[in-house]
Structure 1
Amino acid sequence: MQIDADAVQWREGADGGDLLVVMHGIGSHEGDLIGLAPHLPAAMTVASLRAPIPYGGGFAWFEFSPVDSDDHTLIDEAAHAVLAWLDGLERPFARVHLLGFSQGGAMAVQLARLAPDRFASIVHIASFVHAGELPGDAALAAREPRIPLLTTIGDLDQVIHPDKIARSHPWLDAHFAVERRTYHRAHSIVAEELADVVAFLERV
């Protein structure tokens, strides 16, 4: 499993020091969240990735399960593919941030679990934490300072199962420096939410 480097969509940052890696939801593609780029902090370089598994008319990071599954084989393979892609970049970045929507949000957290010292911040939109335990979880929780993480959910979201949300909240609190926001929306991103994401990224 690998990331298609030719499919990555880029938005160059003003200073080039920080990279924001953007990961879409299941069934979507790299051209989706890159649409947020004009609104994101201009200093950041933005890279929108395509998930490696064909799914419907788009792509997925791992298998779909409406309820919790602690089989993390595919999500770990996808996360290692992202890490390998980062390792292969020709230009160095001082700091790497992650932004993921739905499955992409689960991927962002999984990346931090596999490489606790690698990432500067996480934006976790309309998402959850993949179940199961990983060797890096203890190191992630022990990191000082903890990684700042903004997690958002909609009170009308019927895609992310309530049990996943209920389990994910305390797990995130135990492993990250969490900011949490709830919006009156379904499984989407609203203007108020985007403004909060931008403010968070500008702070970190």
Structure 2
Amino acid sequence: MNFEQLSEGALPMVVGTPDNFDPSHQYGMIVLMHGFGSHMGDLAGLAPLINETDYIYVCPNAPIGMNIGFGQQGYAWFPAGGQTQPDDINNAVSQLQQAVDFAMSKYQPDDSEIYVGGFSQGGMMTMHAGLTRPDIYKGAIILSSRLTQVDLFTDRIESARKIPIFMSHGTEDLVISIQDGRETKNLLDEYGYEIEYREYPMAHEIREETIVDLKNWLQKT
């Protein structure tokens, strides 16, 4: 695959395209959002492991810069923990959608094959920005995450068409507990989502087994 960094949209992003990319061909598109304190390159490495021929991968950078120590810069979609306010999420969702609109305009994907996903805080964004837009996204990928600002979310998805979800979590996760993951899954169940849910004996991470199950889900969705 080929990767390039773009800065002209609402958010900087890394975009991965298949080898021998043909601009006249309509590929699917997968939007992948990194977690709290990470950066746009973090999930780009998953692209060739998921499917290196059929999709364009859009990995946007979260808008809030932060010092993560040792002179390193990380990024967040919104403030963590109890500091999160509805406006923080609304602002992040708006910027993400502008970035996705830019990528869609530039690459002209098959608009029936667009997925959105993320890890940790990126998974929270997937729920707020993705599940609320079934007019754009065919499915959602939620990795090691939980729902935040539940009332804001449920108000938006009450009448929304439900798209299929792939959801995974580690039973040894000490960052976002497996209990939080299960409670989020149960809430989404209550709202009628079709969820392929997987648990693995792992910490706050993405392992090969997760990618294998995700690939299989994409093939049948």
**Interval containing the TM-score (normalised by the shorter chain):** 0.7 to 0.9
Q: CA RMSD in A?
A: 2.2
Match of 1:8 in 2: 13
TM-fit CA distance, 1:4: 6.4
Report the equivalent of 1:185.
202
Post-superposition Cα deviations, 1:25-61, rounded to whole Å, max 9, x if no partner, equal 0010011110111112220111111101012321001
Q: Which amino acid aligns with 1:193?
A: T
Task: Pick one of 126, 131, 138 that aligns with 2:144.
Answer: 126
Deviates more, 1:152-161 or 1:90-99: 90-99
Q: In the aligned structure 2, how far is the partner of 1:36 from the partner of 1:9? A: 12
Mapping of residues 105-120 of structure 1, within 5 Å: 105-120=123-138
Corresponding residue number in structure 2 for 1:43: 54
Task: Report what 1:149 is aligned to.
Answer: 165
2:215 maps to which residue? 198
Q: Does 1:172 align with 2:188?
A: yes
Structure 1: distance between partners of 2:130 and 2:45: 25
* Equivalent position to 1:90, from 103, 106, 117: 106
- CA shift for structure 1 position 139: 1.9
Aligned partners of 1:182 and 1:166: how far apart in 2?
A: 10
Q: Could you tell me the TM-score, scaled by structure 1's length? A: 0.86
Q: Which secondary structure does the structure 2 equivalent of 1:188 belong to? A: coil
1:162 Cα offset (Å): 5.2
User: How far off is 1:107 after superposition?
Assistant: 0.5
Q: Which moved more, 1:154-163 or 1:43-52?
A: 154-163
Q: Structure 2: where are the runs of 5+ without partners?
A: 1-6
Aligned pair partner of 2:85 in 60, 64, 71: 71
Structure 1 residue 155: Cα displacement: 0.6
**Stretch deviating more after TM superposition (21-30 or 173-182):** 173-182
For 1:180 and 1:72, locate their aligned partners in 2 and report how far apart those are by CA, in whole Å.
27
Q: 1:173 to 1:59 in 2, by over 3 A?
A: same
CA offset digits 1:117-157 (Å, max 9, x no partner): 221111100001123323321123xx2xx311011000100
* Contact persistence 1:98–1:122 (CA under 8 A): yes
Secondary structure, in 3 states, of the residue corresponding to 1:25? coil
CA shift at 1:75, angstroms?
1.7
Q: How many residues align?
A: 196
Q: TM-score, normalised by structure 2?
A: 0.80
- Counterpart amino acid of residue 122 in structure 1: A
Larger Rg: 2
- Identical amino acids, percent of aligned pairs: 27
| Cα distance between partner residues in 2 of 1:139 and 1:92 | 29
What secondary structure does 1:105 align onto? helix
Q: Partner of 2:37 in structure 1? A: 27
Q: Which has the higher contact order (CA 8 A, sep 6+)?
A: 1
Going from structure 1 to structure 2, the CA distance change for 1:103 and 1:87 (only over 3 Å counts) comes to same
Q: Is there any run of 5+ residues in structure 1 with no aligned partner, and where?
A: none
1:114 Cα deviation from its structure 2 partner? 3.7
The offset of 1:18, in angstroms, is 1.2
Q: Which amino acid aligns with 1:54?
A: G
Match of 1:103 among 115, 121, 125: 121
